[in-house]
Amino acid sequence: MTKAHLEASGHTAKAVIANSKNANTCNVDGVEKAQRMCELAAAELSIDPNEVIVASTGVIGQVLPIEPIESHIKELAKGLRQTAMTRL
């Protein structure tokens, strides 16, 4: 997901959405959940979903419940601050 988004955005990300305790890898719907996370974050930040990258870590193979992310994305976005980062 992240590699595809970086390629689509010209290797520039404007946001990272991360979760821990539960990885999205080796799950039947892991890619779909990662894409949904990007869409949720992008909608709150008024950016393209391709400008959002995902970081998930934790238990592999366990289904990631998307509902807590969906229900708290507005709160998460309110806690953000804008900073400039240098392109590596």
User: What's the pLDDT at 87?
Assistant: 53
- Model pTM? 0.82
Asked whether the predicted pLDDT for residue 88 surpasses 50, the reply is: no
33: which 2 tokens?
């959940």
Amino acid identity of 74? Answer: K
> What are 18-65's pLDDT values in tens digits?
988 887 777 888 889 999 999 999 999 999 999 999 998 888 888 888
Q: What angle do CA 11, 38, 10 make, to 5 degrees?
A: 15
Between CA 23 and CA 8 the distance in angstroms is 23
